Amino acid sequence: MGTKTLTAARLCLFLPACAICAGEPQPAAPPAAQGAQATAGKTKPTVQFVTVEEGVKLEVVDWGGSGRPLILLAALGADAHIYDKFAPKLTGTCHVYGITRRGFGASSVPASGYSADRLGDDVLAVIDSLKLDRPVLVGHSMAGEELSSVGSRRPEKVAGLIYLEAAYPYAFYDPAVGDLTIDSLELRAELEGLLPGKGRPDQKKLTEELLRSVARIEKDLKARQEELKDYTDPPRPSPNEPRPAVPVAIQGIVAGQQEYTDIRVPVLAIYAMPHDFGGAFKDDPAARAKAEAGDIAYVGPQADAFARGVPSARVVRIAHASHVIFMSNEADVLREMNAFLGGLH
């Protein structure tokens, strides 16, 4: 099918965790009444709810442990309990917490407040509420934007950031690499400056900005066109056919991405490159090789840009790992995390 020609990295950037974890060994969902799940041989984590703004409470899971505080942030669509099996393996050296972001799981689902910086502010509110002293933030996938929001605006609040398949353009933007979604959002905002009643007074500057943005969009679209050259579009739905509802939180998070370029704390960034394609090409080695080459062509420049743009970062590439890298390559991730944590002051 055509979707196999898309790079694994692009496919997983915005898919809810319930989709990206398909085929991965996952912890069972926590009992709703208890809000926590026992880990085999371990004490159940405790759960509390922290108010981050009026009418918005976030679920905070505490797996215990001793040492430096560490906060786990989940991918888009997941809650903190996705770490129920992984978190206890960090409690020997850290006091481990997890936050379920607004809009998901047991946390509040407000109608708004999903921009990257607002989500970052939620994390800061939890840090302040629990009186945590410079925790390390660990984010998987889309949680990279919360890490970058905190690390660029309030670096004094954290000791370090760990990006688990999370240092994509929503977490670090390099105009030389670009990103179709972020560039489209910027272009849309600039185009509104041309509308009657919304026009900006600095029309000369706006025109120059638009020309630069259009050039970036053209570059992004040509890259997407190349990526989709073997893709076959499905039939267009009829006008009366109902469309699947997209949760307000996912809509808000995708639309609320921001450009982060200045991250000023110690960083560990772990990428899967190339990604594991599972059984998608098991009978077609040539197609697998082509897919892996395309994946490297997408992930490689972003990883290189992150390494250049964040001098404090250690960038690790793990071959044939899945996007849910802390599950597929747990030992590798724990080894890199423990080495990074051991070097922090």
Residues of the chain with pLDDT under 50: 1-5, 14, 18-41
| Sole residue written with tokens 């272009």 | 187
Return the CATH number of the domain spanning residue range 2-30+38-174+247-342: 3.40.50.1820
pLDDT value of residue 226: 87
Domain segments of the chain: what residues? 2-30+38-174+247-342
| Sole residue written with tokens 């892996």 | 292
Other C-beta atoms closer than 10 Å to the C-beta of 180 total: 16
Whether 259 and 173 have beta carbons less than 8 Å apart is answered as yes
pLDDT value of residue 333: 98
pLDDT value of residue 8: 52
pLDDT value of residue 167: 98
Total-model pTM: 0.88
pLDDT value of residue 5: 45
The rounded Cα 126 to chain-centroid distance in angstroms is: 19
pLDDT value of residue 10: 57
What do you get for the CA distance between the two ends of the chain, in Å? Answer: 50
pLDDT value of residue 199: 77
pLDDT value of residue 107: 98
pLDDT value of residue 50: 98
Of 128, 124, 162, residue with least CA distance to 143: 162
pLDDT value of residue 41: 43
pLDDT for 200-220, tens place per residue?
888 899 999 999 999 999 999
The rounded Cα 99 to chain-centroid distance in angstroms is: 14
